[in-house]
Structure 1
Amino acid sequence: MGRLRLFAVIPLLMLFSFVMALSVTVAPAGAAAPSGRTITATPAEDEGADLVLLNRPVVRFRGSLLGATPQQRARRGENNLAELLQRGGDDTVSTRPTELGNIVLVGGQMAFVLTEGDADRLAGQTLATLTDATVARLRQVIAESRESRDSEALLKGLSLAVLESGVALALLAGLTRLHRWVGARLLAAVSRQAERLTLAGTELIRGDRILAIVRRLVNALYGFLLTVLVYAWLGQVLARFPYTRAWGEQLNGYFLGIAAGFADGILSTLPNLLVAALMFLLARGVVGLLRPLFDHVSSSGNRIGWLDRDTVEPTRKIANLLIWVFALVMAYPYLPGAQTEAFKGMSVLIGLMVSLGASSIVGQGASGLILMYSRTLRSGEYVRIGEHEGTIVALNLFTTRLRTGRGAEITLPNSLIVGSATHNYSRTAGGASFALDTTVSIGYDTPWRQVEALLIEAALRTPGVLQQPAPRVFQTALSDFYPEYCLVVQASPAGPSPRAEVLSRLHAHIQDVFNEYGVQIMSPHYIDDPASAKLVPKTRWAPPPAAGSGP
């Protein structure tokens, strides 16, 4: 509907311009031109009055002459020019200096007088320069008035306007098709990319909102290009007819002025943009030179000085960040608008926001770097941090993620890890194995050699427990009623969950072995001997509903 209205407006504007020009052509000889149509005097209390012919200003009267105000002088000049142009004949423009000023003549007849008071002294204008400019404008207006009475010239202008309108309509149709084609493909591409913006299966940004924003941007660009096209067409069509030529020239001049301003701004900032681009290209080149070194250490595992597989990734990120920040600092003075007050104010605001909010971020980042470069933790190791125990699945700059044997994932701030005691169960043995321990308390009436043998036999029965290094038993305490025995083994599960399963199976085998040999477990505390030993005979190891199950 909007384009149909536009198609209807274009012929109406052409018809309006042609009718106005034709009305000037068919004015009867000897009739005064209506002042509201071809010649107007625009009063201005402080700046004078303008004399306008065919919508084109000829001169501005600023001073009085023989008691006549600028407004009265403009009206008299209007009447004189109307009579001279309607009378026809010689329309040569000339001037004659007098004591009052310079008389402007048309065909040897006085049109108006220019005085010293009419010159714009603030602009450095003199009476001579004012006279020359007025004569040039008056000759142009008279030529256009002559053209407005030439039917052949009007038909030629109308033909050119029709041709230009046809070209504008063709460009409009092409622009509309291009808008539909680009919009459909761009929306399809954005929709495909939006589906990939997920984190752990969660959509980061709603796809329909992204599509709505892109659709509005495409429509806004289409509207802007459409406005430019209609603006350019209107200026060209109006410039084809004498009566509306001044309007068309004003439209074209404004449009060209804006375009020239943009072009001048682009050309003036182009050298600085090239310098800034060179800074970023150098930064990209340095990053590219360092990439093979980091990739070699990451893939081969070979150590180069202090750089190894554990520190290569954080080192890569820190090096890239420093390089790009350095490039940004070096290119900052060459960016367009960098010296403006608005740009400086924005820089101060960003610096203030960073300084206020960066204290905790810097602390977390420093803690992450300490963990990475001190090699306290590595991905895949089984650790205990405070009350949390699990396998490290990710060691980042700000946080560390643990996955427990029960399937839960815990995210810990790096500052908390640095300030806590860390138990690493994977460093005592090579490879992916880790230490596993459990404690039991047995009465003094059971020989300690038997207890150690039972614990070792239970460990060797447990799947996942390594035979080398061999399980070991330590007597960690001699309490009032019992000694405490700590069984330490090495296990090698395939992931974080099997560790809990290994520990569960180890506890199950300890119970089975102690029941087989008739040794009662008194954990965690031995208080008194019961009336009968707390043992489970083998015939009752799998009562319903656990029949047939085993460790």
Structure 2
Amino acid sequence: MPAFSRSTPLPVLPLLSLLLLLALLSLPLTPRAAEPPQLVAGAPAAAAAPAGQVPGAAPGPVLPAPTSALVFANRSVFVFRAPLAGYPPSDRAAGALRRLEAAMARGGPLKPAIRSIPEGTQVLLDGMQLFVVTPADINLLAGDSTDSVAGAAAAHLGMALAEHQEQGSLRYLAVAAAYCAGATLVYALLLRGLSLLHRWAARRSAALLGMRLRDVRLKNVRVLDAEHYIVFARHLLNAALWLLFLMATYLWLAFVLGRVPYTRAWGERLSGYLLDVAGDVGRAVAGALPGMVLVLIIFACARLVALTASSFFKRFESGELQMGWLDRDTALPTRRIASVVIWLFALAMAYPYLPGAHTAAFQGLSVLVGLMVSIGASSVVGQGASGLILMYTRALRKGEYVKVGDSEGTVLEVGMFETRLRTGLGEELALPNAWVMGQTTKNYSRAHTGTGFVLDASVTIGYNTPWRQVHAMLELAAARTEDVAPSPKPYVMQVALHDYYVEYRLVAYAKAEAPRKRVEVLNQLHQHIIDVFNEFGVQMMSPHYMADPPAPMVVPKEDWHLAPARRPDHNPAGASPGKD
């Protein structure tokens, strides 16, 4: 045997010995017939009462006799299944073997033949009866006849006799040994060639994978590690190598056993088994091909329909089309739902044509997967349903400024399972859609058509200040705020008349240009309200006002920039001055 490299996963010689042992143990060989029992001259065995039955008693249920095979030269000639004339199958097989040995001892051409008789069909050797094939020995329901079965037995007998003669021929054994030696040499060279090919393929695949995967980069950064793929390719090559080893060993073993007369039956069984497996695989592949063609056609049609639907809904997403309830807000979820429905329908249509779809294992696995999905996805389905409700009711839209419960911010995305907000402080909140559905939502971006979000500021002023002056000052503060929209015009309302003060509320609008904008705009608006009230000498006692103080609680304009504050013309470089 050739020496193999260290890269070979296992030693070859122990593997071959193991394969040979397993092959011999796994073959369904008929055991060699035991030493034939001595037949008692005189009355046949049927004259004796069956075991366990008293002579002269009423016959009871008779159990079927065990079968017995006539084996000669390690080849099964015929299997006796029923008694004949009181002789059980074992006695029939033993008698046939004795008659066969007697015919061989006499010499002659040893030519098998068959002859029909009323009891069945005789199997003859040189005109002498060896045994009789009766209707009870064959399967009449399968359409067999005694003549056909006897003919097959005679053919097996002829092969066994020829092999027995070959076993005694030194010339034939020498030729068989030469064939076996040549096959073994070819087998060893083939194993050596496969080993060398394996080492070359391992080196070549490692070099190619390392070179190809090194060039796979994203923004000049390697995204794939070649080591994992090289290890996987090495394991794949090892599996392919040993598969070829096993196939070569199987073929070599079948050939060698078929050259030796005594083991030829084993070699024929090995070859026949390989051909049967190859035929079964070929028939299975051929039977699955029409179904696979239909599956491919179904999935191709599904992909075409999915692409068409995606192209159609993208027109609505871009705003080119609008039709009833379908617009740019609902087009995306509708496209995803349509895609899922199309592929589920395609899978349901293709399922019966998948190979193994009707097997119990495949069906059990489908039930198990469906049960796991139904149990584990209950909350997911609830979240998805809530997301669809939010999308199709248009309760929230991207870019709107809303308040959901205690969370307030600009809507970044309304997804299938969660809604994301960006607060005025730059935080990003992920709110489960089921929770959003159970909360009160305030939408500040829909107070007026065509505007951004709404702004409001409340102050409480004493009754001694004219309300018209308060209105004018609040409107002036809104006008001084840059990000407040001039249209619609800001307005002021007296929302409550308390015991000691009047509550005024300024309502204005601003454009939602950035997620942090509303907090910044409110901050500027509050600053300008304080400045305007100080400028006109009106004191603010917000939020509580109970009595007038001894002196007006206002800040003179000359004190607006006391240290550490600075006047606008004294601000350091880069600072953004506030408005007076």
Length-normalised TM-score, structure 2: 0.72
Corresponding letter in the other structure for 2:471: E
Instruction: Confirm or deny that 1:131 pairs with 2:150.
Output: yes
User: In 2 relative to 1, CA 14–231 (structure 1 residues): closer, same or farther, beyond 3 Å?
Assistant: closer
User: In 2 relative to 1, CA 354–63 (structure 1 residues): closer, same or farther, beyond 3 Å?
Assistant: closer
Instruction: Confirm or deny that 1:167 pairs with 2:187.
Output: no
User: In 2 relative to 1, CA 59–417 (structure 1 residues): closer, same or farther, beyond 3 Å?
Assistant: same
Residue 207 of structure 1, CA deviation? 12
Residue 478 of structure 1, CA deviation? 1.7
User: In 2 relative to 1, CA 396–79 (structure 1 residues): closer, same or farther, beyond 3 Å?
Assistant: same
What's the secondary structure of 2:328's corresponding residue?
coil
Q: Where do residues 525-544 of structure 1 align in structure 2 (5 Å cutoff)?
A: 525-536=544-555, 539=559, 541=561, 543-544=563-564
| 1:7 match | 12
Corresponding letter in the other structure for 1:268: G
Residue 100 of structure 1, CA deviation? 9.1
| 2:137 match | 119
Corresponding letter in the other structure for 2:407: H
What's the secondary structure of 2:403's corresponding residue?
strand
Residue 51 of structure 1, CA deviation? 3.3
Output one character per residue of 1:482-506: Cα deviation in whole Å (capped at 9) or x when no partner: 1112222222353212322222233
The worse-fitting range, judged by mean Cα deviation, of 402-411 and 53-62 is 53-62
Instruction: Confirm or deny that 1:40 pairs with 2:32.
Output: yes
Q: Is the 8 A contact 2:319 2:327 kept in 1?
A: no
Residue 226 of structure 1, CA deviation? 5.2
Output one character per residue of 1:347-393: Cα deviation in whole Å (capped at 9) or x when no partner: 56666666667765555444433332333321111112232211111
Residue 535 of structure 1, CA deviation? 4.2
Q: Where do residues 342-491 of structure 1 align in structure 2 (5 Å cutoff)?
A: 361=380, 363-428=382-447, 433-491=452-510
Q: Is the 8 A contact 1:56 1:246 kept in 2?
A: yes
Q: Is the 8 A contact 1:401 1:411 kept in 2?
A: yes
Alpha-carbon separation, structure 1, partners of 2:15 and 2:108 = 37
What's the secondary structure of 1:40's corresponding residue?
coil
User: In 2 relative to 1, CA 523–258 (structure 1 residues): closer, same or farther, beyond 3 Å?
Assistant: farther
Alpha-carbon separation, structure 2, partners of 1:43 and 1:370 = 86
Alpha-carbon separation, structure 1, partners of 2:75 and 2:545 = 114
Instruction: Confirm or deny that 1:247 pairs with 2:270.
Output: no
Residue 126 of structure 1, CA deviation? 4.9
Q: Quote the RMSD (CA, aligned, Å).
A: 4.8
Output one character per residue of 1:175-221: Cα deviation in whole Å (capped at 9) or x when no partner: 6755776689789999999999xxxxxx9xx9999999998788667
- Give unpaired runs (5+ residues) of structure 1: 17-36, 197-202
Alpha-carbon separation, structure 1, partners of 2:193 and 2:536 = 100
Say which of 491, 511, 518 aligns to 1:499: 518
Alpha-carbon separation, structure 1, partners of 2:285 and 2:262 = 36
Corresponding letter in the other structure for 1:7: V
Say which of 316, 327, 348 aligns to 1:329: 348
Alpha-carbon separation, structure 2, partners of 1:349 and 1:474 = 64
| 1:515 match | 534
Total equivalences in the alignment: 522
Residue 336 of structure 1, CA deviation? 3.8
Alpha-carbon separation, structure 1, partners of 2:229 and 2:406 = 43
Alpha-carbon separation, structure 2, partners of 1:405 and 1:286 = 44
- Give unpaired runs (5+ residues) of structure 2: 1-5, 22-28, 37-63
Corresponding letter in the other structure for 2:134: E
Structure with the higher helix share, 1 or 2? 1
Output one character per residue of 1:330-351: Cα deviation in whole Å (capped at 9) or x when no partner: 3344344444555555556666
Alpha-carbon separation, structure 2, partners of 1:546 and 1:236 = 104
Alpha-carbon separation, structure 1, partners of 2:230 and 2:494 = 69
Alpha-carbon separation, structure 2, partners of 1:373 and 1:459 = 36
Q: Is the 8 A contact 1:235 1:251 kept in 2?
A: yes
Alpha-carbon separation, structure 2, partners of 1:231 and 1:370 = 65
Corresponding letter in the other structure for 1:267: A
Alpha-carbon separation, structure 2, partners of 1:382 and 1:49 = 92
User: In 2 relative to 1, CA 135–317 (structure 1 residues): closer, same or farther, beyond 3 Å?
Assistant: same
User: In 2 relative to 1, CA 490–15 (structure 1 residues): closer, same or farther, beyond 3 Å?
Assistant: closer
Corresponding letter in the other structure for 1:466: A
Residue 530 of structure 1, CA deviation? 4.0
Alpha-carbon separation, structure 2, partners of 1:133 and 1:294 = 72
| 2:179 match | 156
| 1:21 match | none
Q: Is the 8 A contact 1:442 1:523 kept in 2?
A: yes
Say which of 295, 298, 305 aligns to 1:279: 298
Q: Is the 8 A contact 2:418 2:431 kept in 1?
A: yes
Q: Is the 8 A contact 1:394 1:402 kept in 2?
A: yes
Output one character per residue of 1:472-531: Cα deviation in whole Å (capped at 9) or x when no partner: 322222221111122222223532123222222332333334334443322222233345
Alpha-carbon separation, structure 2, partners of 1:415 and 1:390 = 18
Alpha-carbon separation, structure 1, partners of 2:35 and 2:209 = 55
Output one character per residue of 1:394-424: Cα deviation in whole Å (capped at 9) or x when no partner: 1123322212112222233334444544322
The worse-fitting range, judged by mean Cα deviation, of 40-49 and 484-493 is 40-49
Residue 237 of structure 1, CA deviation? 4.1
Alpha-carbon separation, structure 2, partners of 1:490 and 1:403 = 19
What's the secondary structure of 2:308's corresponding residue?
helix
